[in-house]
A and B are shown apart, each in its own frame.
Chain A
Amino acid sequence: MATTLRRRNKQPEDSHPDPKPDEDDDDIKDSKPIKKSGKNNKIKNYSCLDNCCWFVGCVCSVWWLLLFLYNAMPASFPQFVTEAISGPFPDPPGVKCVKEGLKAKHPVVFVPGIVTGGLELWEGHQCMDGLFRKRLWGGTFGEVYKRPSCWVQHMSLDNKTGMDPPGIRVRPVNGLVAADYFAPGYFVWAVLIANLARVGYEEKNMYMAAYDWRLSFQNTEVRDQTLSQIKSNIELMVATNGGRKAVIIPHSMGVIYFLHFMKWVEAPAPTGGGGGPDWCAKHIKAVMNIGGPFLGVPKAVAGLFSAEAKDIASVRALAPGVLDSDLFQIQTLQHVMRMSRTWDSTMSMIPKGGDAIWGGLDWSPEDGYSPSKRKHAKNDTESSTQSESEIEATHANYGRIISFGRDAAEAPSSEIERIEFRGAVKGNNVANNTCRDVWTEYHDMGFGGIKAVAEYKVYTASDIVDLLEFVAPKMMERGSAHFSYGIADNLDDPKYKHYKYWSNPLETKLPNAPDMEIYSMYGVGIPTERGYVYKLTTAAECYIPFQIDTSAKDKNEDGCLKDGVYTVDGDETVPALSAGYMCAKGWRGKTRFNPSGIKTYVREYDHNPPANILEGRGTQSGAHVDIMGNFQLIEDVIRVAAGATGEELGGDQVYTDIFEWSEKVNLKL
């Protein structure tokens, strides 16, 4: 193909100069000398234009030809090639289970997480004309490029209420299409759905509980009646499937959304669903939480604090200027921050449980973890001395979720001088009004406030909430009406009837449903954000004053600190501690959080990166979203949906030291 193209490319260049003299000859012979000069000019122009057209034509034809070949290709061809290269595929779990004779039994409910659910436009301003019921979030994200500021305007919620801004209605997409694919080709639930379909599932016994993931949980009910819809759909499916209880499969933030639901549904009417105290026992067989951030994620802190995360920090490390360039007047990050700060749901994932869970200045449950240690433990070959020395080298104070400067992150607690920031005078920012329309609350904060924040040096999980309240008072005011991050001393205290506690597993009791099962299924073996090293930004007029210090790195490659981010074991987003603690310890047996003794199981899936590109996102991945394509996990889900219990699955399946870590957590159970 390439050679013919090259030949074609050369040919016209050769042939073009030739005809020109001939033309001249012809013209003379035809004795039309008057036209001669004019024509000559034209012909020169044409040869350039012609070349362009010719080239475009070539490319188009080749493209069409390839497209045609691609379409004419039998559907099994790619698989054939893959099998030829990397050996035969294992059977997809659905097929395997069908062969074993498993059949659809319990109805299945999916609860998608944050970000992965599609949102569509129902009413908008002028700039969104013609996009009625088109996806704004998910799909191709075409509108983000075409009309970015309009898009940001429509995706943001109201600053005060956390609900729709006037004149704008953006609503979740309904049905399985809401979250089967996030963007074209990037599956979320699609693989799981396809495999469930093999054992006989279809729309009547499979339900996607799509909700607007930007809202606080209670507001999804207030605005869209989403919780009521989920309730009645579960009731319907249980009733039409011969009274078989439902298996719930929440993912990511859906996990805490469903915790909220379980409290809501049994609470009496005005704030709750009025299902009565045994609703869960009657309607739910098992809750299979996938990658659940039960106790929050540190990523949410970085997101709220400086609209950053590992991805953005490493972009910044690679090309320092791009994101901050004032040149194009883009202010991307500021816009992102302004938008995401109007989303109440991000506050649901701030680390919960404070120092007791996440560790204080000098200790944390995961102390002693090193990425290399687990590798060696797995291989069982390396000499122990070497790995021990590495542990010492990479000892990290995970308890310090935010530290200003690397020194502060590593110094023993006694050496850190902290100046209290709470109550510090924020001062006035003179540059406030020049910052165009961007609004990130940082502009209400003067230099004094920023300095005070930096001088506190180190923030643990308990300090984080105060910190956020200091830098973003309005947002946190909204958020604290809907979420709480503490640990309950006395769960029978009547104040815990308020819905803001429902999504925090440390401040609620599980429902009274002794036959129910709770699974925590998550990937491990991927470095996951746990703590951050921050620095002050070099001042510019409109800016976010804090930034992850990407220069902070460990000396050796295996270190926990990279680009200013301390990592720990987890699924790339949720640390194993947050995903596993409740099921490994907090709810194990009859504890005060689990008075009826619901059985809990921890199932970890070790991450194996896909062997080659052809495998796509892998069938053994442990990453936060890619795990939805993990064959082992899918098989577990199908087995439970077909009637198996946790014991039949094999109980716990653990690769990390989650039980050890859980023991270190000092919590009255």
Chain B
Amino acid sequence: MTSVLRFRFRKSCSNNETTFRSYETSKVIKKQYEKSKTIGRQRWWCVNSCCWFIGCMCSTWWVLLFLYNCWPVSLGGMIEPEPPGVRLKNEGLTAVHPVVLVPGMITGGLELWEGRPCSRGLFRKRLWGGSFAEAVKRPLCWFEHLALDNETGLDPPGIRVRPIPGLIGADYFVTGYFVWAVLIENLASIGYEGKNMYLATYDWRLSFQNTEIRDRSLSRLKLNIELMYATNGNKKVVVVPHSMGVNYFIHFLKWVETPPPMGGGGGPGWCAKYIKSIMNIGPAFLGIPKAVSTMFSAEGREIASIRAMDPGLLDSEILGLKTMEHIMRMSRTWDSVISLLPKGGEAVWGDLDSSPDDGHECLLERKSYFQSNSSKHRTKYGRMISFGKTASEQNSSKLHKNSPMEVMQAIKSATCGEVWTEYGEINWNNIQKLADNKAYTTETFIDLLRFVAPKTMQRGEAQFSFGIAKDLDDPKYAHYKYWSNPLETKLPDAPDMEIYSLYGVGIPTERSYVYKLSPSERCNSIPFRIDSSAKGQCLRGGIYYADGDESIPVISAGFMCAKGWRGKTRFNPSGSATYVREYQHKTPSLLQGRGLESGGHVDIMGNVALIEDVLRVAAGESALGDRIYSDILKMSDRVNIELYSQS
């Protein structure tokens, strides 16, 4: 291969001087040719010039490619700063504690093990992650295989899609877009390798308990932690979960100490024995508002802005695409989405009038992002969904006071033949009534979801819970559906265990939404959509923004470690130490790629300061202390949750 390249290179080198002149003069030649052309020649000339042009492009491309490959590696290295792993190695840090990485939602790869005839030839090929080539080539087939069964939330018959095990499962999400790769490389440079680093992949579409039932993922995680503990000289492990992996690991903490059929049977001292610290990156402890809009209308900030730019694209019936409906149908079969719904209700996320993060001043911090609006109007973040901009700002007394429960008495009537998204089952008048209710808080929103997506929520609520426990000793909390909600479980009895919450701040993050009814009444359409025309203070494209890491608001990421678990509370009876470490976002320059100081939800995995923190803890340090840029402490104080048990 190289010899061929070199040959080509040499060939083009000899002609190099003339290559560029040929571009200039080609026009002249063309003119002259045109003058002298006969009809027959004209046809050939066209083909020839095409070929000539392609040839030029190809040769130039090859030459550039060759030069790029010949580029000395060290030259690129001089520009880049020394990676933190190398720096810390020179400081003398070495691998001490085994490391377990727990990936989050979406970023884990999924591969096909058994499929319908349309997926022929894709055995053990990536369906999710990688290049997503199949999603483009055979979209319907792809949707069919990635969706789960509507009733059970498990595999549909005849289809087996499984997570990819090992580090390759989540090092890169798509080609070139790193997730864990940078952290892994830095860990490796202080001595980590396969035997003391484990990436706990799991099928992120399933509910947490189902990953155990179907794939034994929790058992595997337990075994690998025990194995690494034993083979690395009885050193406790450092767990690094990211995003939804955080909730997954909280579930694991409860699961592992619970006795068998439901749990892992590790006994009450398991966590204390095996876990040194949990370094939650971008944790979604209390859920994310993004899950609200995803569940409600399969939208997020990205889709809303696409719609704002080109209103027809996503809804075009001409191509018969119905993309949004397909996405909604698929994502509603994923139980894990439900795990991310905001937890803690109005106490955490605010009611109609106030919320803990009220008073966050978007204006001062980000002039460039928002239209300046001088009125000192406080954003009502507590209204998770409001219909129309006015409803989101009005005084609560002026709001239409229809309890959603009343609306829900209304009779359902199926209007469409093939039901796709459960919206097909709801009469248009009822939808109108739902919209009349104007504003929903977190709690009423969940009621709303129970109405518009009864089956999904029925499935989901068997697996997850979103409330706050009054009495944690109530025997009902032994059920696994409470395990992933930090407000309804106790931390394990492990006083030496440390819990870190590491997250980015300084990026506007979705907090609540302004909705409108969608114009069409046709079958299988989604009747609600984000009103992307709504603008105002903290409001852009129909979305109210608060501080966070682009996906998770500060209140969700920070509250538990800043307040809920700080000291000996009823959620943390053994008093495990907690630390909040925030990373201020700095927009990277173009050359830096995704940046070394980014605070973005995924990009933070390449943040130098965060990597350094993880390496230090893995190498044996503890008690890194707090590092706070946002108002998290103030916000947490405003959250009204009983932290100490009455007795």
Contact = CB atoms under 8 A, between A and B. Distances in A.
A123 B192 CA distance: 10
B193 A169 contact: yes
A58 B44 CA distance: 13
Interface size class of B (residues with CB under 8 A): 35 or more
B25 A42 contact: yes
Nearest to B217: A204
A377 interface: no
Contacts of A204: 215-216, 220
Interface string B60-86: 000000000000011001000000000
Interface stretch (A7-15, A379-387, A464-472, A621-629): A7-15
Contact of A194 (B32, B54, B123, B193): B123
Main secondary structure of the interface of B (DSSP, over half): helix
Given A177-B166, A224-B195, A56 B77 contact: no
B58 interface: yes
B212 to A, nearest CB: 9
A3 interface: no
Name which of A22, A130, A203, A229 has the most chain B CB atoms within 10 A of its CB.
A203
A54 B32 contact: no
A321 interface: no
A274 to B, nearest CB: 10
A54 B52 contact: yes
A193 B124 contact: yes
A122 to B, nearest CB: 5
Contacts of B162: 202-203
A132 B36 contact: no
B157 to A, nearest CB: 13
Main secondary structure of the interface of A (DSSP, over half): helix
Given A43-B29, A224-B194, A52 B47 contact: no
Interface residues of A, number: 62
B388 to A, nearest CB: 49
A228 B227 contact: yes
Interface stretch (B183-191, B323-331, B463-471, B511-519): B183-191
Interface in A438-490: none
A328 B160 CA distance: 54
A413 interface: no
Interface stretch (B13-21, B314-322, B353-361, B553-561): B13-21
Interface in B21-38: 21-22, 25, 28-29, 32-33, 35-36
Nearest to A63: B58
A538 interface: no
Given A145-B1, A232-B226, A240-B219, A122 B73 contact: no
A55 interface: yes
B185 A132 contact: yes
Contacts of B33: 19
B477 interface: no
Contacts of A48: 15
B428 interface: no
Interface stretch (B113-121, B334-342, B573-581, B598-606): B113-121
A236 B212 CA distance: 13
Interface string A216-243: 0000000011001100110110011000
B220 A57 contact: no
B231 interface: yes
B52 A18 contact: no
A39 B2 CA distance: 37
Contacts of B171: 133
Given A174-B194, A203-B165, A229-B227, A197 B114 contact: yes
Contacts of B189: 123
A57 B195 contact: no
Nearest to B230: A228
Name which of B21, B28, B168, B231 has the most chain A CB atoms within 10 A of its CB.
B231
Nearest to B137: A71
A50 interface: yes
Interface in B140-174: 160, 162-163, 165-168, 171
Contacts of B168: 175, 177
Contacts of A11: 44, 48
B193 A75 contact: no
Contacts of B36: 18-19, 22-23, 26
A48 B45 CA distance: 16
Contacts of A194: 123-124
B27 to A, nearest CB: 12
A43 B28 CA distance: 10
B405 interface: no
Given A22-B35, A197-B113, A203-B162, A57 B219 contact: no
A456 to B, nearest CB: 45
A335 interface: no
B48 A54 contact: yes
B44 A50 contact: no
A146 interface: yes
Contact of B59 (A56, A133, A203): A56
B223 interface: yes
A171 B55 contact: no
Contacts of B479: none
Contacts of A169: 193
A107 to B, nearest CB: 11
Name which of A42, A172, A193 has the most chain B CB atoms within 10 A of its CB.
A42
B51 interface: yes
A61 B54 contact: yes
B194 A15 contact: no
A109 B114 CA distance: 20
A46 B22 contact: yes
Contacts of B195: 224-225, 229
Contacts of A56: 54-55, 58-59
B313 interface: no
A648 B50 CA distance: 67
A295 B185 CA distance: 42
Contact of A228 (B54, B56, B216, B231): B231
Interface in A21-50: 22-23, 26, 39, 42-43, 45-46, 48-50
Contacts of B25: 42, 46
A53 interface: yes
A194 B111 CA distance: 13
Interface string A574-594: 000000000000000000000
Given A122-B188, A202-B162, A50 B52 contact: yes
B177 interface: no
Contacts of A75: 120-121
B11 interface: yes
A55 B51 CA distance: 7
B123 A129 contact: no
Given A175-B165, A202-B113, A236 B54 contact: no
Nearest to A201: B113
Contacts of B29: 43, 46
Contact of A26 (B2, B35, B45, B58): B35
B227 A61 contact: no
A146 B166 contact: no
B50 A57 contact: yes
Nearest to A58: B51
Given A43-B29, A122-B193, A232-B223, A52 B11 contact: yes
Nearest to B168: A177
B55 A54 contact: yes
Contacts of B73: 129-130
A49 B19 contact: yes
11 contacts: A11-B48, A39-B28, A46-B25, A57-B54, A129-B73, A193-B124, A202-B113, A203-B162, A203-B215, A229-B195, A229-B227
Given A49-B19, A122-B188, 16 more contacts: A8-B51, A19-B32, A42-B21, A43-B29, A54-B51, A55-B51, A57-B50, A60-B54, A75-B120, A122-B193, A123-B188, A123-B189, A171-B193, A174-B167, A224-B195, A232-B227
Q: Which 10 A-B pairs have the closest CB atoms?
A: A57-B55, A53-B55, A57-B51, A22-B36, A56-B55, A57-B54, A225-B231, A75-B121, A175-B166, A129-B73
